[in-house]
Amino acid sequence: MKKVAEVVELYRKLARIPQPSWARISKSLGSCAVVNSVWTYRDLERADKVQFAKTYCANKTSEAKYEVTFTSRPQELANEQWNVESPSGNLRAIVRKITGKKNEEKQFVEIWNGSQKLQNIDVLSLEKHGKIYDNDGYFGSVEWSHSEGHLLYVAELKYPKAISFFEKKHADVKEDETKKDETKEKGVKGEEYVMKEEWGEGMVGKHHPVICILDVDTGDIRILDNVPDHVSPGHVVWAPDDSGVVFTGWCHEPYRLGVIYCINRQSAVYYLDFQKATCEALTDPDGAARCPVFSPDDSSFVFLQSNRKGPHNHCSCLCKYDWQKKESTVVCDIVGTPKQNGFPGVYEVTIPRDCWSTDNKRIVIGSLWRSQAVILVINTETKAVIRLPSDCGGDISVCHVWNDVIIATCSAPNQPHYLVIGQLPAEGQEFNIQWSPLDSPSALFGDILWKILVHRPTKERIHPKYDTLDYESVFIKPSNAEQSSRSLVVFPHGGPHSVFTTEFMLYAALFCQSGFSVLMVNYRGSVGFGNDSVFSLLGNVGDQDVKDVQAAAEEVISKEDIDPNKVVIWGGSHGGFLTAHLIGQYPSFYKAAVCRNPVINIASMSGSTDICDWNFTECGLEFEYKSLADGNSMSIMWSKSPLQYVDKIQTPVMLMIGLDDRRVPPKQSYELYKALKARKVPVRYIAYPDNGHPIVKVDSEADAFINIYKWFTDYLPQ
Ligand SMILES: CC(=O)N[C@@H](C)C(=O)N[C@@H](C)C(=O)O
């Protein structure tokens, strides 16, 4: 087993491995494909995620392959929130975040041509709107008009200045008039401390987004004011002929529920028509439609449709809206239980911009296929679905599609991320795509082996309604027996409706290179296996998921070279919930446990989480906005919570929380901490400031890993 000091150095080395944040083909036509990319790595010395840009030129050497003829050196990027090329490739819009002389945050919208900056607008000083949203995958948008004369973006609504009742200089502002427009510019009395609901975890400062239009020539900014008041716009794109804008509108009445990781929020696709000054829903306003992406000829757009209410994540329906006919059709419907290894349905929160082929028929999108991230080519006319092969056998995710050229990211548990380029083959030949790496990927970790394990529930654990369901784990281990400590980290994911895929993950690689094998369990209820798997867990959390993880662990111990006395467990959020359940239900099985922001008591969480619907739904209860966690609901929630087993826990527990977590409040961990302290069970509570639900601040993430490693090795038999 490596010493802590050795693992610190190993962390320092692996943390430097960069990961592509985005990569796009430049639309400036030329003899070669110019690919612009932005990479991110963890800079431990600066305790910051640092971004750098890299550009490649790739020439087609044959119908299918590319040869990279030029690669720029990495160029560190400073403060770029958005960097969007215009349709012709001649202009570029950059949103830059700067700290002003008085330490205030400033945002500049910059318009560049090929050689100079044409506009440099200090937008917040204009007081037209609040902060421009970053690329959060939901509301943030920056889009060029087809004409390249205008830029749309999403920012926070500008609120009237709040005035104290006691401020003398505005004594003339009458309280009963302060709501009237003519007095608003002076300010509004009594609003200083009124709560503005935000969209929950990961959406700090995002209360009410508005759509802004910048005139690129004049620098004038206007706010589109005919978006329905009850709607928060996002995924905003230009309508054909720049006749208006089309967007996802999330309903924020009667109150906002957390939106991140949740595709079950009430939302619709809207069209705001400039000429008619109307804004109409193009999909069911009571549904959960999102993410319109127009075809190159603007004849139609594709969008995703989910179940409103119900599980936070699940299989989505891919639909197409015909702009002329004004009607939607289903292209890929929801899949309940796929045929053996068959297409499991579409699992994506958003559809990438520019996902269409030039024939206006096919789209290229990312999705999940059991335990792997995949790229699908979907023919929106024939509805044929083709899974493209990965380049390295692990995950592949689409970055950009333009002019039938695809840029994708590949990785595997033993292969850090790298970019590939490929030419989309003709219809029906897609499987023959050839990928060409854009640069030599970081060295493969030859000392890590990985495989996907399939688990079938034993007879007594078969789901009464969904009796054919199986599940999987991603298992990784040191390739060199001498390097292996024969120890196992059991690692259930959170959600619960999420999934571990075969991508490169820093913590998993570090555990493995420190001598552990790692079992990442995709228990029934994970996404990517069909909707029936997701729904099989509702009402069964704390039982079906717990038994699935334990069975997977016991199976691996029986088949692999693992010492049953050297098994530890760790998980985050619902994964922390499962960790706490497993050490309570199998008290002598795990030698040490770590929970990151764990759900410990579903009942007490329901009053303070940003997703109170989750607490009802996962416990098999109906949820309405007016639902109250009354005595009956609370007792059902308690009956599924791990805290009930605390008297059985013997395993030493380390709790790690992000103090700004809005998803699973830190008090959840504190409940378990106190209960264990009172029972004299070894427990350690680490609280990271400036971290939310995922503990990913560079220095916190690093400290957390070393603490986890030390906690495990302190309690494992040497
Ligand atoms: C929907 C959701 O956020 N559920 C939490 C309880 C959870 O488990 N979150 C996952 C995604 C995590 O790992 O944080």
Which of 646, 666, 668, 648 lies closest to 657, judged by CA? 666
Cα-Cα-Cα-Cα dihedral of 493, 499, 505, 508, to 10°?
40
Which of 58, 117, 698 lies closest to 436, judged by CA? 58
Q: Rounded CA gap, 187 and 136, in Å?
A: 31
Delimit the domains of the chain by residue range. 84-90+99-161+196-351, 448-601+641-715
Residue with tokens 């980290």: 489
Indicate the top mutation candidate among 314, 573, 610, 664 to test ligand 1's pocket, ranked by most ligand atoms within 8 A of CB.
573
Calculate the alpha carbon distances from 336 to 59, 440, 497 in Å: 43, 40, 15
Query: For residue 572, how far is its CA from the centre of ligand 1 (angstroms)?
Result: 8
In contact, 504 and 413? CB cutoff 8 Å: yes
Q: What are the tokens at 291?
A: 């993410």
Query: For residue 290, how far is its CA from the centre of ligand 1 (angstroms)?
Result: 21
In contact, 294 and 240? CB cutoff 8 Å: yes
Among protein residues, the one with the nearest Cα to ligand 1's atom 9 is 495
Query: For residue 611, how far is its CA from the centre of ligand 1 (angstroms)?
Result: 10
Query: For residue 707, how far is its CA from the centre of ligand 1 (angstroms)?
Result: 22
Q: What is the pLDDT of residues 525-535, one digit of tens each?
A: 999 999 999 99
pLDDT at 650 over 70: yes
**HEC assignment per residue over 581-617:** HHHHHCCCCCCCEEEECCCCCHHHHCCCCCCHHHHHH
Atom of ligand 1 nearest to the CA of 498: 11
Atom of ligand 1 nearest to the CA of 694: 14
Confidence of residue 167 (pLDDT cuts 50, 70, 90): confident
Collect all residues with Cβ–Cβ distance below 8 Å to 182 and sequence separation of at least 6.
Answer: none
pLDDT at 184 over 70: no
Confidence of residue 176 (pLDDT cuts 50, 70, 90): low
Pocket lined around ligand 1, Cβ cut-off 6 Å = 261-262, 312, 494-495, 498, 572-575, 599, 611, 614, 663-664, 693-694
Residue with tokens 């890929």: 332
Q: Rounded CA gap, 264 and 311, in Å?
A: 7
Q: What is the sign of the dihedral through the CA atoms of 482, 486, 487 and 493?
A: positive
pLDDT at 353 over 90: no
DSSP-derived secondary structure for 607-647: TTSS-HHHHHHHTT----TT----HHHHHHHHHTSGGGGGG
3-state class (DSSP) for residue 497: coil
In contact, 365 and 351? CB cutoff 8 Å: yes
Element holding 184 (H helix, E strand):
helix 181-184
Which of 567, 585, 599, 594 lies closest to 649, judged by CA? 585
ipTM over 0.90: yes
Indicate the top mutation candidate among 261, 534, 549, 570 to test ligand 1's pocket, ranked by most ligand atoms within 8 A of CB.
261
pLDDT at 28: 64
Q: 250 or 178: which carries more pLDDT confidence?
A: 250
Which of 714, 689, 510 lies closest to 594, judged by CA? 714
DSSP-derived secondary structure for 98-131: EE-TTS-EEEEEEEE-SSSEEEEEEGGGGTSSSP
Among protein residues, the one with the nearest Cα to ligand 1's atom 13 is 494
DSSP-derived secondary structure for 663-687: SS-THHHHHHHHHHHHTT--EEEEE
Indicate the top mutation candidate among 693, 695, 696, 701 to test ligand 1's pocket, ranked by most ligand atoms within 8 A of CB.
693
Q: What is the pLDDT of residues 32-57, one digit of tens each?
A: 899 999 999 999 999 999 999 999 99
Q: What is the pLDDT of residues 377-391, one digit of tens each?
A: 999 999 999 999 998
Atom of ligand 1 nearest to the CA of 201: 3
Mean pLDDT of 98-123: 95
Q: What are the tokens at 586?
A: 């199998």
Q: Which of 169-183, 290-304, 503-517 is predicted least confidently?
A: 169-183
Query: For residue 132, how far is its CA from the centre of ligand 1 (angstroms)?
Result: 27
pLDDT at 179: 53
Q: What is the pLDDT of residues 402-427, one digit of tens each?
A: 999 999 999 999 999 999 999 999 99
* CB count in 10 Å sphere of residue 50: 18
Burial class (CB in 10 A: 0-12, 13-18, 19+), 684: middle
Which of 465, 94, 138 lies closest to 304, judged by CA? 138
* Helices (H), ranges, 449-573: 506-513, 531-537, 544-559
CA Rg, the chain, in Å?
A: 26
Collect all residues with Cβ–Cβ distance below 8 Å to 550 and sequence separation of at least 6.
Answer: 582, 585, 586, 589
Phi–psi pair at 636, nearest 5 degrees: -65, -45
Q: What is the sign of the dihedral through the CA atoms of 48, 154, 350 and 576?
A: positive
Residue with tokens 């654990």: 461
Does the domain made of 84-90+99-161+196-351 have the CATH classification 2.120.10?
A: yes
Q: What is the pTM of this model?
A: 0.96
Which of 298, 306, 110, 151 lies closest to 236, judged by CA? 151
Confidence of residue 444 (pLDDT cuts 50, 70, 90): confident
Residue with tokens 């509004």: 188
pLDDT at 591 over 90: yes
Atom of ligand 1 nearest to the CA of 573: 8
Among protein residues, the one with the nearest Cα to ligand 1's atom 4 is 495
pLDDT at 315 over 90: yes
Confidence of residue 304 (pLDDT cuts 50, 70, 90): very high
Query: For residue 574, how far is its CA from the centre of ligand 1 (angstroms)?
Result: 6
pLDDT at 62: 72
Q: 265 or 31: which carries more pLDDT confidence?
A: 265
Atom of ligand 1 nearest to the CA of 614: 1
Atom of ligand 1 nearest to the CA of 575: 8
Indicate the top mutation candidate among 520, 611, 614, 663 to test ligand 1's pocket, ranked by most ligand atoms within 8 A of CB.
663
Cα-Cα-Cα-Cα dihedral of 442, 443, 448, 454, to 10°?
60
Does the domain made of 448-601+641-715 have the CATH classification 3.40.50.1820?
A: yes
In contact, 356 and 296? CB cutoff 8 Å: yes
pLDDT at 354 over 70: yes
Atom of ligand 1 nearest to the CA of 663: 3
Query: For residue 495, how far is its CA from the centre of ligand 1 (angstroms)?
Result: 4
Confidence of residue 1 (pLDDT cuts 50, 70, 90): confident
Query: For residue 496, how far is its CA from the centre of ligand 1 (angstroms)?
Result: 7
Among protein residues, the one with the nearest Cα to ligand 1's atom 12 is 494
Among protein residues, the one with the nearest Cα to ligand 1's atom 7 is 495
pLDDT at 482: 85
Q: What is the pLDDT of residues 616-637, one digit of tens each?
A: 999 999 999 999 999 999 999 9
pLDDT at 30: 63
Atom of ligand 1 nearest to the CA of 609: 6
In contact, 112 and 89? CB cutoff 8 Å: no
Query: For residue 626, how far is its CA from the centre of ligand 1 (angstroms)?
Result: 23
Q: What are the tokens at 349?
A: 């929160």
Confidence of residue 177 (pLDDT cuts 50, 70, 90): low
Strands 653-658 and 593-596 turn out to be parallel
Point out which residues pair with 43 in neighbouring strands. 48
In contact, 605 and 665? CB cutoff 8 Å: yes
Q: What is the pLDDT of residues 323-347, one digit of tens each?
A: 999 999 999 999 999 998 899 999 9
Q: Which amino acids are annotated catalytic?
A: 573, 661, 693
3-state class (DSSP) for residue 433: coil
Among protein residues, the one with the nearest Cα to ligand 1's atom 11 is 495
Q: What are the tokens at 400?
A: 């950009």
3-state class (DSSP) for residue 533: helix
DSSP-derived secondary structure for 255-313: -----TT---S-EEEEEEETTTTEEEESS-TTSEEEEEEE-TTSSEEEEEEE-SSSSSS
pLDDT at 483: 87
Among protein residues, the one with the nearest Cα to ligand 1's atom 1 is 495
- pLDDT over 70 for what percent of the chain? 97
Q: What is the pLDDT of residues 633-649, one digit of tens each?
A: 999 999 999 999 999 99
Atom of ligand 1 nearest to the CA of 693: 14
Q: What are the tokens at 323?
A: 């702009």
In contact, 549 and 496? CB cutoff 8 Å: no
Query: For residue 257, how far is its CA from the centre of ligand 1 (angstroms)?
Result: 14
pLDDT at 440 over 90: no
Collect all residues with Cβ–Cβ distance below 8 Å to 118 and sequence separation of at least 6.
Answer: 91, 111, 112, 216
Among protein residues, the one with the nearest Cα to ligand 1's atom 2 is 495
Residue environment code for 421-451, b if the CB has 16+ CB neighbours within 10 A, otherwise e = bbbbbebeebeebbbbbbeebbeebeebbbe
pLDDT at 695: 96
Q: Rounded CA gap, 75 and 39, in Å?
A: 10
pLDDT at 168: 81
Query: For residue 663, how far is its CA from the centre of ligand 1 (angstroms)?
Result: 7
Tell me how long the chain is. 718
Atom of ligand 1 nearest to the CA of 599: 6
Query: For residue 685, how far is its CA from the centre of ligand 1 (angstroms)?
Result: 20
pLDDT at 345: 98
Q: What is the mean pLDDT of the chain?
A: 95
Among protein residues, the one with the nearest Cα to ligand 1's atom 5 is 495
Indicate the top mutation candidate among 664, 695, 696 to test ligand 1's pocket, ranked by most ligand atoms within 8 A of CB.
664
Among protein residues, the one with the nearest Cα to ligand 1's atom 14 is 573
pLDDT at 691 over 90: yes
Indicate the top mutation candidate among 574, 615, 660 to test ligand 1's pocket, ranked by most ligand atoms within 8 A of CB.
574
In contact, 493 and 522? CB cutoff 8 Å: yes
Query: For residue 355, how far is its CA from the centre of ligand 1 (angstroms)?
Result: 28
